[in-house]
Structure 1
Amino acid sequence: MTSWVPAKLILSKGRAAKFDAGAKQAQSSAAVFNPDVDVSGIDERKLMRKVDSRTIPWLAFLYLLAFLDRTSIGNAKLYGLETDLHLTDTQYLLCLTLFFFSYALFEVPSNIVLKRLRPSVWLSLLMLLWGISMTMQGLVTNFSSLMALRWLLGMFEAGLFPGVTYYLSCWYKRSEFGVRIAIFFSAATVSGAFGGLLAAGISKLEGVGGRPAWSWIFILEGLATVVAGALSFWIIVDFPEDAAFLTEAERTVVIRRLQGDDQFSAAGERLKWKNIIASLTDWKTVAERTPAIVYSAADMALYAFALFLPSYKATPANLLTVPVYVLACIVTCSVGFLADRYGNRGWFNFGCLATAAVGYIILISSRNATLSYIAVYLAACGIYPCIPNTAAWAANNLEGSYKRSVSLGVIISVGNLQGAISSNVYRANQTPWYPLGHGLVLMYICFGLISTVVTRFMLKAENGRRERGERDEVIDKYDGGLEVNGRFVSVEDAQREKGDRWSGYRYIL
């Protein structure tokens, strides 16, 4: 049985020698979660398989529903939505765009509420509400009511992806997190693989109950989400310290292994506004806020790709998109697994974005259908893995449960705002080659490549400063440290107070 300590004293080499072994042990054992609980009979691998089975499959299914619901308006358009509601092209684009504004606006508040409430309650409630909004879209009769429901759909869906990203980071070590979020996100590729075919099947209900085909697409997909939301109250499990499906010893093991992975807040943290402020001012979050950032670049490309690929309306063309999404799913999960095993998430991101860039260069320059089809594979295999890998990279380097919650909300929110841009770059008058749309996506991908290199350089430089002792705090009873970095009674106090700014914390590159 493995033993866990809450934090490894990874200090600058010169200062580490000044800490006596007994003092280190005293500091470590003082913060062990549930020190009186016997965990000797717990098999760690078996325990984590148990956690996987209760978290990943259902959450991935929920994200599949979310992606189907947000993109169903494109399929509804193919079956007469614009004609029946008398929408102009501009009005239709406004319906697409408005979703992303409410989606981005409510991600941070939703993550704060998620931390304060039980995930089983909050995520389930959000699903019920967006399922109702989705169903109601099948009953609209004019542009204004469709706009209102698209706003509500974005507002309620906003909490799922950043919420689950944060939620899973509270269960897994940093070296285990990437593949889990990749499997969760791969549901988006599954959605793309059969969303159009599902809509084609539902369209056979044209005229049933006096309703058009597009109406049934909204109604049936929305009702499926409502049912899933109701079931989620009993299926979604809460944070490790409250998870009812685990024994006390199993909960103890989960939290201790997180503490041993420099997640000092795993045992619980009180809401402090200074942590919220820290998440909004931390340079790593700021580095991923502008358009020239990895997540925004990948997100813009993702939404643009999801809009571009279904532009081929014929069923044979829809069938040709299925293997594209299948390969993207395999690559997404593979990148998550390899990045967990070998680290260097930054270089994996760079490789993915470079692959996508090659694909879009071919799409811009080629007028050959076969070559363009090959380029679509490159684009998908570059874009899709980048989203979960970037989310994992950010979560890996944010310590403090509230700080991580808010920062992930900010990062993902800024990225999703790019969906408002991607909704307007593929114009009907440029079909089938779309030079403007592909060119703008390529520009974003280049921003992402630059941002990846810069972010990795900054993280590596900061790790170097900590190795040299430039970030050492003054710890009572021990020599050394700089007052400017803070004074603390113990190492444990420094860890708890400073989170990832603690001198012993090392960023994942």
Structure 2
Amino acid sequence: MSDLEKHASSHDEREDRAIDLDIPDPDAHLSPEERDQIERRLVWRLDLILIPWLCLLYLLAFLDRTNIGNAKIAGLVPDLGLTTSQYNIALTIFFISYSVFEPLTNVLLKKLRPSIFIPIIMFLWGASMTGQGFVYNNSGLLASRWFLGLTEAGLFPGVNYYLSCWYKRSEFGIRAAIFFSAAALSGSFGGLLAAAIEKLDGKGGLEGWRWIFILEGLLTVVVAVISFWMVHDFPDDARFLSEEDRARVIRRLRLDQQASSKHEDWNTRYLYDGLKDWKMWLGMAIYMGCDMPLYAFSLFLPSIIMESGWSNNSIHTNLLSVPPYAAAAVLTVIVGFIADRTRQRGLCNILSSLIGIVGFILLIASDSPAVKYAATFLGALGIYPCISNTITWMANNTEGVYKRGVVLGFVIGWGNLNGIVSSNIYFDPPRYLQGHGVVLAYMIIFLFGGSILMTTLLRVENKKRLEGKRDYLAEGKSEAELDLLGDRRPDFLYTV
């Protein structure tokens, strides 16, 4: 049997399986053209209802975790009497609480419902952010950063997991990219906002950097309250869906070999399945190769620009930090679109990472302020697209609602734990050779090298499945038992 015939046969089997599971098809009487038109309208409606608000939430989350970089050049360090080591520890402690609790949050999201869980954690991190504006010593800063990490832990892995339960594998990448582009936009928006807020210096007897924390924290609290009405639950329970649209959403997911959120109950087996999956461990390595550079870049970009000699005051520096983030946001969406269409997520990672590698080589090698500023663009372009692309890659290749939640939690949690490294490598201004060198090593070894290895191994596995060398796994099994195999099913082909 040819590869094409195998694909056709596999699709027919999935159609039969959806019917066997008694998932109604409200459009069975329509022509293929009419069905396609209805599906396009449905997906467009999902996009309009789900994506914009989630992007706003992540923009605020990333703004709140990285605005300490803007506050630093606005006077936070001397006003609190911090040493360089104490400031870096304040950055580090966020990633400890953030990473430790991330693997747990997707299970909590599933059990508590997104419409309850996400607004609650958002309200709590907004309160932590606001409180950070009233700290007067190192201990207070450490406490506020710890609770900020704890309360933000559930958003990024939770939303990626949540979106993967709404969209087909071939649709998820561009949505994840648009969602994550909010992080890049937060860099642009954060620089502009910090430059404006800093002008409040002295108002109410408070320094400008305090107003950055207070006003951005209060904005988060307000949006959190509104989110109780704006964040929706999983497809099986979302109230904005009619019964016909609910059937359409669930059916198209099942035809794409994805489990419905109500067809699984939590079992520790899903945890063990994730821990035994080599893709999770390699995905953790790849993700740390882009996530550590992401935090190094976002936390220290204002300092890098100022120390390069390209800027001589904090307001100008914050404004100069805007364009690299804006460029990264655009490329992130473009890469997400291309990866969805080509299903070559590994190749997209490889090519994007090369751009970033060149950027950090220039940061190390050049003394020219203009070249260094141009290199920050290349660095951003090489890092940001790989974040959402890697998460999508892992979600595409992990079947089972709970297993996917576990895998994404571990991958993202481990990546964010490497934010500890990001916080402790930029000690040597103005050239920051140590910091740039560590970032470069991460990108070459883990992101670039890991993506090559993952792509190769997945291609080898797909070849074996197409040749029937994994068919023995399905012998003698019922359809329900085959479903339990998840992405180990012989007819499940990985996205490379």
> Which TM-score applies when normalising by structure 2?
0.91
SS at match of 1:398: coil
- List aligned pairs for 1:337-486, cutoff 5 A: 337-427=337-427, 430-447=428-445, 448-473=447-472, 481=475
- List aligned pairs for 1:45-444, cutoff 5 A: 45-265=40-260, 268-289=263-284, 293-311=285-303, 312-313=305-306, 314=313, 315-427=315-427, 430-444=428-442
1:488 aligns with 2:484: no
Check whether the contact 1:345–1:393 (CA below 8 A) recurs between aligned residues: yes
Q: What amino acid is the match of 1:149?
A: S
**Shift of residue 435 of structure 1?**
1.3
Q: What amino acid is the match of 1:123?
A: I
* Structure 1 residues 471 and 11, CA gap change in structure 2 (3 angstroms): farther
**Shift of residue 452 of structure 1?**
0.6
Gaps of 5+ in 2: 307-312
* Structure 1 residues 469 and 85, CA gap change in structure 2 (3 angstroms): same
SS at match of 1:288: helix
More helix by share: 2
Which string of whole-angstrom CA distances, capped at 9 and with x for unpartnered residues, describes residues 217-267 of structure 1? 111111111111111110011111111111010011111111111113455
Answer with 38-47 or 372-381: which moved more.
Answer: 38-47
Check whether the contact 2:69–2:300 (CA below 8 A) recurs between aligned residues: no
Distance 1:266 1:121 in 2: 17
Distance 1:266 1:167 in 2: 10
**Shift of residue 474 of structure 1?**
6.3
What percentage of aligned pairs have identical amino acids? 49
* Structure 1 residues 49 and 88, CA gap change in structure 2 (3 angstroms): same
> Which TM-score applies when normalising by structure 1?
0.89
Distance 1:138 1:39 in 2: 61
Paired residue for 2:309?
none
Check whether the contact 2:178–2:333 (CA below 8 A) recurs between aligned residues: yes
Paired residue for 1:33?
23
Check whether the contact 2:473–2:489 (CA below 8 A) recurs between aligned residues: no
Check whether the contact 1:38–1:249 (CA below 8 A) recurs between aligned residues: no
Check whether the contact 2:73–2:302 (CA below 8 A) recurs between aligned residues: no
**Shift of residue 214 of structure 1?**
2.0
**Shift of residue 426 of structure 1?**
1.3
Q: What amino acid is the match of 1:30?
A: D
Answer with 98-107 or 193-202: which moved more.
Answer: 193-202
Distance 2:194 2:14 in 1: 61
Check whether the contact 1:356–1:379 (CA below 8 A) recurs between aligned residues: yes
**Shift of residue 24 of structure 1?**
8.5
Distance 2:95 2:178 in 1: 24
Paired residue for 1:478?
none
Gaps of 5+ in 1: 1-9, 476-480, 482-486
RMSD, aligned α-carbons: 2.4
- How many residues align? The count is 481
* Structure 1 residues 424 and 129, CA gap change in structure 2 (3 angstroms): same
Which string of whole-angstrom CA distances, capped at 9 and with x for unpartnered residues, describes residues 321-347 of structure 1? 322222111111000001001111000
Distance 2:29 2:276 in 1: 39
SS at match of 1:240: coil
* Structure 1 residues 252 and 39, CA gap change in structure 2 (3 angstroms): farther
